[in-house]
Amino acid sequence: MKKGFAGWVLALWAMLWAGAAIAQQSVAEEAVRRLESFVTQTGAAQGRFRQEVLDPQGRVVQRSEGRFVYERPSRFRWEVTAPARQLVVSDGKTVQVWDADLEQVVVTPLTQALSGSPVAILADAQALHREFAPEGGQMEGDHWAVRLRARSAEAGIVRVVVEGEGERLLRMRLEDHFGQTSEITFTEFARAWSVPPAEFAFTAPPGTKVLENQPGRR
């Protein structure tokens, strides 16, 4: 599993599902309102993405692409199809992180997977308000962008920028403490009325090492 892969994904879906708390801030009110509108009116969606990871000098160190699907409040599938197969999937109770190259899957209860991550707040929408503060927002026609920073110095993600146009999500940019940035562009994005439960299920291939990450275990 590439370092930080699961963390980026949890951060991404947390931002999609927690917009109502952001709206309590007064910075760039209209841009924030657009983000809130997108979140509250998009209960399920699917599409495709491209992702680039950049080092502190702005050089691309990793590229990937794949597909996603989610259904609020806590079910999602983020599947990298190239250059290597990776998957983070939640059925609303557990999060499974699978790496084909390592031939292993890590299974973690949803609440534990989100605990301690200021942007991984699928189970607690108010956490975004507690842990992040708006730094600004921009509007240009129907295009909006909201920039947020972490309140805690211990947060894994320092800054998040969310961009959209109307009710469509365009891209996200996540920056960590080491200056590494993940830029995610949604090349396809479509709302869905409902999602087949099979999208949120995963059975590890034969021979896969299954690691149970349980609270209190050492």
Q: Which amino acid is at 116?
A: G
- Sequence length of the chain is 218
Tell me which of 174 and 36 has the higher pLDDT. 174
Whole-number Cα distances in Å, 26 to 128, 132, 135, 166: 15, 13, 10, 20
Q: Tell me the pLDDT tens digit for each residue of 76-117.
A: 888 999 999 999 898 988 989 999 999 999 998 877 765 434
Q: What CA–CA distance (Å, rounded) separates 152 from 5? A: 21
* Cβ burial 196-215 (10 Å sphere, 16+ → b, else e): eeebbebeeeeeeeeeeeee
Q: Tell me the pLDDT tens digit for each residue of 106-146.
A: 998 877 765 434 334 333 344 555 666 778 888 888 899 98
pLDDT of residue 25: 42
pLDDT of residue 113: 65
The token pair that represents 216 in the structure block: 């209190």
Percent of the chain at pLDDT exceeding 70: 73
For the whole model, what pTM was predicted?
0.77
List, in order, residues 6 or more apart from 154 with CB less than 8 Å away: none
Kindly report whether the peptide bond that precedes residue 118 is cis, defined as omega within 30 degrees of 0.
no
pLDDT of residue 30: 84
Q: pLDDT band at 66, cuts 50/70/90?
A: very high
Q: Using the predicted structure, report yes or no on whether residue 41 has a pLDDT greater than 90.
A: no
Radius of gyration of the chain (CA): 17
Q: What CA–CA distance (Å, rounded) separates 98 from 107? A: 9
List, in order, residues 6 or more apart from 27 with CB less than 8 Å away: 134, 135, 136, 137
